[in-house]
Structure 1
Amino acid sequence: MCRQRLDADGRRLVCPAGHSADAARQGYVTLTAGARPHPGDTAAMVAARERFLAAGHYEPVARALALLAAELVPAAAFAVDVGGGTGYHLAHVLDALPGATGVCVDTSAPALRRAARAHPRAAALGADAWRALPVADGCADLVTTVFAPRGEAEVARVLRPGGAWVVLTPLPAHLEQVRAALGMVAVEERKRERLAADLAGFDPAAERELSLVRPLDRAALRDLVLMGPSAHHIDAAGLEQRLADLPEVVDVTVAVRLTAVTRPG
Structure 2
Amino acid sequence: MLTCPLCQGSLSQLDNGVVCPAGHRFDRARQGYLNLLPVQHKNSRDPGDNQAMVQARRDFLDAGHYAPVAERLAQLAAERAPGTWLDIGCGEGYYTARIGQALPTAQGFALDISREAVKRACRRDPRLTWMVASMARVPLSDASCQFIASVFSPLDWSEAKRLLSPGGGLMRVGPTEGHLMELRQALYDEVRPYADDKHLALVPEGMTHAHSEILQWRLSLAEPKARADLLAMTPHGWRASAKRRTRVIEQTAPFEVTVSMRYDYFVRQA
Question: What is the TM-score of this pair, normalised by structure 2?
Answer: 0.89
Residue 64 in structure 1 maps to residue 68 in structure 2: no
Query: What amino acid is aligned across from residue 87 of structure 2 in structure 1?
Result: D
Residue 190 of structure 1 and its aligned partner are, at CA, apart by 2.6
**CA gap 1:189/1:156 in 2 versus in 1, 3 angstroms:** same
Contact in 2 for aligned 1:78/1:142 (Cα 8 Å): yes
CA distance in 2, matches of 1:54, 1:100: 24
Contact in 2 for aligned 1:73/1:164 (Cα 8 Å): no
Please point out which of 198, 203, 219 is paired with 1:199. Answer: 203
**CA gap 1:206/1:120 in 2 versus in 1, 3 angstroms:** same
CA distance in 1, matches of 2:92, 2:34: 14
Which residue number corresponds to residue 137 of structure 1?
A: 142
Residue 114 in structure 1 maps to residue 151 in structure 2: no
**CA gap 1:34/1:120 in 2 versus in 1, 3 angstroms:** closer
Please point out which of 99, 102, 105 is paired with 1:99. Answer: 105
Q: Secondary structure at the match of 1:40?
A: coil
**CA gap 1:140/1:48 in 2 versus in 1, 3 angstroms:** same
CA distance in 2, matches of 1:128, 1:200: 20
RMSD: 2.1
Question: What is the TM-score of this pair, normalised by structure 1?
Answer: 0.90
Q: Secondary structure at the match of 1:167?
A: strand
Contact in 1 for aligned 2:137/2:159 (Cα 8 Å): yes
Residue 243 of structure 1 and its aligned partner are, at CA, apart by 2.6
Residue 188 of structure 1 and its aligned partner are, at CA, apart by 5.9
Identity %: 35
Residue 26 in structure 1 maps to residue 34 in structure 2: no
Which residue number corresponds to residue 226 of structure 2?
A: 220
Q: Secondary structure at the match of 2:186?
A: coil
Q: Secondary structure at the match of 1:210?
A: strand
Unaligned runs of 5+ in 2: none
CA distance in 2, matches of 1:200, 1:186: 31
Query: What amino acid is aligned across from residue 115 of structure 1 in structure 2?
Result: A
Residue 254 in structure 1 maps to residue 254 in structure 2: no
CA distance in 1, matches of 2:249, 2:210: 41
Unaligned runs of 5+ in 1: none
Residue 187 of structure 1 and its aligned partner are, at CA, apart by 7.3
CA distance in 2, matches of 1:98, 1:16: 31
Contact in 2 for aligned 1:166/1:261 (Cα 8 Å): yes
Contact in 2 for aligned 1:103/1:122 (Cα 8 Å): yes
